[in-house]
Structure 1
Amino acid sequence: MGTARRTLLNRQMILLLTASLGSLTAFYLLVSVVPLYVATSGTGDAGAGLSTGVMMAATVLMELAVPAVLRRCGYRTGIAMGLLLLGVPSAVLVVSPALPLVLAACVARGAGLGIVVVAGPTLVAELVPDRRRGEALGLYGVAVGVPSVVVLPLGVWLSAHIGYGAVFVLGAAVPLATLAAVAGLPAARGPAEHHTGVLGGLRDGGLARPVMIFAAITVAAGIVLTFLPLAVSAGARGTAALALLVQASAMPLVRWLVGRYGDRHGIAHLLLPAVFAAAAGTAGLVWLHNPYLLVAGAGLFGAGFGAVQNITLTLMFQRTPKPEFGRASVLWNLAWDGGMGFGAVGFGLVAGHVGYAAGFALTAVVLVAALIPAWIDRRRTQ
C-alpha cells in the first residue's frame, strides 16, 4: 500500500477502524438476541444452539475463502460485501422467526463476519509502517473488542424493552451506515495465492507455534465465556457477570498496551508471560465460591488473552512476507473461531462427569501445556 502515509492514524486507518467497529457492533448486537428470538418462538434450545452453530460454521468456511475474495474483488469491495452480509440479513429477520429463514440469515451473517475479521487485520498490517504494526493491531483490537463489552449486553436489554424487530432493524442499520467509511478504503486487490495454500502455512514452525498457542487460549476463552455463568450458584450470577465484564474490559486494553510496548521494545519475549497470565487466571476460576478470586481470575485471564491476541498476530505478520499477510490472518482467525467452538463443546462433554471446578482446573493444565511451544518460540527468536 505504497500511497499510505507513514503515520499510525492516517485517513485510511481511521476509516478501516470505523468499518471494523461497525461490523463487530452489528455482530455482537444480535449474537445473543437471535438465539433468544428463536428459542421463544417455539424451537427451544435446539434451534437457539443451531442458529449460533451454523453462523460460526459459515464464518470458518468463509475465512478460508477470504484470500480468494480479496484477490478477485480487492479490499474495498470485499469489506463492503462483509458489511452488506452482516446488515441485510438482519433486516430479513423481522419478517418471521421461522427456523429456515433464521438459519439462512445466520449463514449470511457468518459469511460477512468471516470476511471482515480476516480482511481487517490484513489491511491494518499493510496500511501502517512495520515499526508501528503492534500498536496498530492493538487499536484494531480495541475497535473489535469494545462491542463485546458494551453492545453484547445492550442487545439483550433492548430486545426486552423495545422488541426484537427494532433490534434487528438497528442491527441492519449500523453496518449499512458504515458502508460510507468503506468508500475511502484502498481498492487494491489481495496478493496471488501461495502455492501451498492457506493451511500450508502450518508447515512453518514460525507460524505454527503462534497458531497452536493462540488456539489453546481460545479453547479456554470458549469455556470461560460459555460456562462461567453456569458454574456458579444462582445467587452468584451477578458475580459471574461482573467477572465476565472485567475479563472483556481487560482484553482490548491489554491488547493495545502490549502492541504499543512491543513496537518500542520488541514483542516476542512477552509471549511466555502472557500465556502464563492466562493459565494463572484460569486456575483462579477453580475457586468458584470465592467472588474475589473469581473476578481476579477472570480479569487476569482477560489480560493474558488480550496480550496473546496481539503478540501472536504481530509475530505471524513479522514472519510472513507482505504478499502472504492474508494467509497469516486466516490462520489466526481459524485458531480463534475453531478454538472457541471446540472449547465450548469439549468442556460441555467433560464437565458433566468431573464438575465445573475440575473442568476449569483441566483447562488451566491445557494452558500450562501451551507454555512449552511458547518457551520454544522464545528460544528460537533469541
Structure 2
Amino acid sequence: MDKPRLWTRDFISIAITNFLVFTAFFYLLVTLPIYAIQKLHGDESEAGLITTVFLIASILTRLFAGKWFEKAEKHVVFISSLLVLFTASILYFIPQSLTGLLILRFFHGIGFGMATTSTGAIVADLIPESRKGEGMGYYGLTLNLAMAIGPFLGLTVMQQTGTNVMFIINVFCALFALVAGLLVKLPKKASMPEKVIERKTNMKFGGYLENSAIPVSLVSAFFGMIYSGIISFVSIYAKEQSLVEAGGYFFVVYAVVLLISRPFTGKWYDLFGANIIIYPAILCFGVGTFLLSISNTSLLFLTSAAFIGVGWGTMFPSFQTIAIQVAPPKKKTLATATFLTIYDFGFGIGSFIFGIAAAKFNHGTLYFYCSFLIIIGIGIYYLLHGRKPSHSIVKS
C-alpha cells in the first residue's frame, strides 16, 4: 500500500512560511539590540527589553490563540497573523526613539504569537497521521535553518550596508511569508472552527496549561533565560572582543553542528531515554558557555558555538519531546502550547535581566557566571524531572 503524500503544495507552503517567519525573528533578534544602542542611543538593559516586550506580547497572544480558533477558521487567524507581521515590518522605518520601537515590538510580537501558533496547528492537520513523526521532523528543520540564516544575514547586512537595507530585507521576508501563506489550503474538516468541549474548565486559567508538562517546561525556561543572553548579545560581545567577522559565523557553526548531531541524538533519545542524552547535553552547553566567556580568538569563539550547538540543540527538542510524552494523548497540543509559553517567558525575562547585568559587568564575566548556572541547572532538571523513571512517561 502506498504511503499518503507528505510533500504536497500545502505542506511545502506552510514550511516555507514558518521558515520565513523565524528567519525574520532571529534576523531582528541579533540586529535590533545593536540598532538600539548605536542608532537610538539606548543602553544594554533597554536593548534587552526589546526582546522581552516582543516575547511578552507573543506569550499573551499564544494563551488566547486557542480561543480564536474556536470562533474563527484557522486559515483566517493564520492569514491575519501574516498581515500583522507584514504591517509591523513596514513600520520599523518610523520609530525614532526607544519608546516607539518598544511599542512596535509589542505589536510585532502579537503577530508572531498568532503566526507560530496557527502554523503549528495547521501543519498538524496537513501531515498524514501515518507520517506525523517524519513530517514534523522536516517541519522542525525550517526552524533550525532559520536559526542559522537569520542571524548570519542580519549581522552581515548591518556590517556591510545600513539599517535601511536591514529593514527592507525584513519587509521582504514578511511579504514572501504572506505570499506562501496564501497558497496554503486546509482540508475542509480542518478549516471548521473547533468545538468547545469543556467550557467551564477552559474559562479558568488552568484550562490554558497542561499540568503534566509544567515541570519540564520550567526547566526549559531556566536554561532559556541563560540561552537568551547568548543569542541576544553574542554579536555585541564579538564586537567587544574584536571578533566581528567570527561573530557573523557563530550561528552558522552553531546550526551546522546542530543539524549534524540531531539525527544521532534523536536516535539515542529513543534508544536510551531522555536522561542519558540530556545530562551530557547540559554539560556541553555549560562548556560552550565557559569557552565563550574566555574567547579571545576566532577559533575559540567558534569552538564555543559548536559546543553550544550540540548542547542546546539537543536539550531544547528533548525537553519539548518530554513535555509531549508525559501528557495524556488528548492533551498533546495543549502540552506543546504550555511548553512554548513557559519557555518564551523564561527567554524574555532572561534577555531583560542579562541586559541590566551587562550595564554593570562585561559580557565575558556574565557568560562565565552563566556557565556555572548551567551546572546548577543539572540539579534543577533532576529535581523536576530527571529522577523520574522512563516508565512514568505517558505513551500516545
Same fold (TM over 0.5): yes
Distance 1:41 1:230 in 2: 14
Q: Which residue of 2 aligns with 1:142?
A: 141
Moved more, 345-354 or 299-308: 345-354
Q: Which residue of 2 aligns with 1:364?
A: 375
Q: Which residue of 2 aligns with 1:218?
A: 224
Q: Which residue of 2 aligns with 1:249?
A: 256
Distance 2:78 2:154 in 1: 24
Q: Which residue of 1 aligns with 2:42?
A: 44
- Match of residue 33, structure 1, among 31, 34, 43: 31
Distance 2:262 2:247 in 1: 23
Alignment of 1:349-360 (within 5 A): 356-360=367-371
Moved more, 175-184 or 125-134: 125-134
Measured after TM superposition, the shift of residue 23 of structure 1 is 1.3
Q: Which residue of 1 aligns with 2:150?
A: 151
Secondary structure of the structure 2 residue equivalent to 1:376: coil
Q: Deviations over 1:263-320 (max 9, x none)?
A: xx94781454134313333135335447677655542332232333333434444555
Moved more, 106-115 or 308-317: 308-317
Distance 1:193 1:165 in 2: 49
Distance 1:92 1:173 in 2: 13
Q: Which residue of 1 aligns with 2:119?
A: 120
Tell whether 2:374 aligns with 1:381: no
Gap change, CA 1:236 and 1:40, over 3 Å in 2: closer
Q: Which residue of 2 aligns with 1:185?
A: 185
Gap change, CA 1:37 and 1:234, over 3 Å in 2: closer
Distance 1:346 1:105 in 2: 21
Q: Which residue of 2 aligns with 1:273?
A: 277
Which amino acid counterpart does residue 25 of structure 1 have in structure 2?
T
Higher relative CO (CA 8 A, sep ≥ 6), structure 1 or 2?
2
Distance 2:152 2:357 in 1: 28
Which amino acid counterpart does residue 185 of structure 1 have in structure 2?
K
Measured after TM superposition, the shift of residue 8 of structure 1 is 3.6
Q: Return the TM-score normalized by structure 1.
A: 0.80
Secondary structure of the structure 1 residue equivalent to 2:226: helix
Measured after TM superposition, the shift of residue 102 of structure 1 is 2.6
Secondary structure of the structure 1 residue equivalent to 2:94: coil
Alignment of 1:1-382 (within 5 A): 6-45=4-43, 48-129=47-128, 132-183=131-182, 184-186=184-186, 187-190=191-194, 192=196, 195-196=201-202, 199-200=206-207, 204-205=211-212, 207-226=213-232, 234-235=241-242, 242-251=249-258, 254-255=261-262, 261=267, 266=270, 269-270=273-274, 272-287=276-291, 288-289=293-294, 295-318=302-325, 320=327, 324-346=331-353, 356-372=367-383, 373-376=385-388, 378-381=390-393
Gaps of 5+ in 1: none
Moved more, 150-159 or 338-347: 338-347
Gap change, CA 1:21 and 1:267, over 3 Å in 2: farther
- For the 8 Å contact 1:229–1:240, the answer to whether it is kept is yes
Moved more, 83-92 or 156-165: 156-165
- For the 8 Å contact 1:219–1:343, the answer to whether it is kept is yes
- For the 8 Å contact 1:218–1:336, the answer to whether it is kept is yes
Q: Deviations over 1:167-188 (max 9, x none)?
A: 3233223222322332323234
Alignment size in residue pairs: 374
Moved more, 126-135 or 145-154: 126-135
Distance 1:134 1:311 in 2: 14
Measured after TM superposition, the shift of residue 244 of structure 1 is 4.6
Distance 1:243 1:159 in 2: 15
Secondary structure of the structure 2 residue equivalent to 1:32: helix
Gap change, CA 1:36 and 1:357, over 3 Å in 2: closer
Measured after TM superposition, the shift of residue 110 of structure 1 is 0.8
Which amino acid counterpart does residue 211 of structure 1 have in structure 2?
S
Secondary structure of the structure 2 residue equivalent to 1:87: helix
Distance 1:250 1:368 in 2: 26
Which amino acid counterpart does residue 83 of structure 1 have in structure 2?
L
Secondary structure of the structure 2 residue equivalent to 1:189: coil
- For the 8 Å contact 2:216–2:381, the answer to whether it is kept is no
Distance 1:204 1:131 in 2: 28
Secondary structure of the structure 1 residue equivalent to 2:22: helix
Q: Deviations over 1:148-175 (max 9, x none)?
A: 2112232233245443233323322322
Q: Deviations over 1:128-153 (max 9, x none)?
A: 34554343333222212222211223
Moved more, 364-373 or 107-116: 364-373
Identical residues among aligned pairs (%)? 20
Which amino acid counterpart does residue 91 of structure 2 have in structure 1?
V
Distance 2:369 2:53 in 1: 30
Gaps of 5+ in 2: none
Measured after TM superposition, the shift of residue 193 of structure 1 is 6.5
Distance 1:101 1:125 in 2: 37
Measured after TM superposition, the shift of residue 226 of structure 1 is 4.2
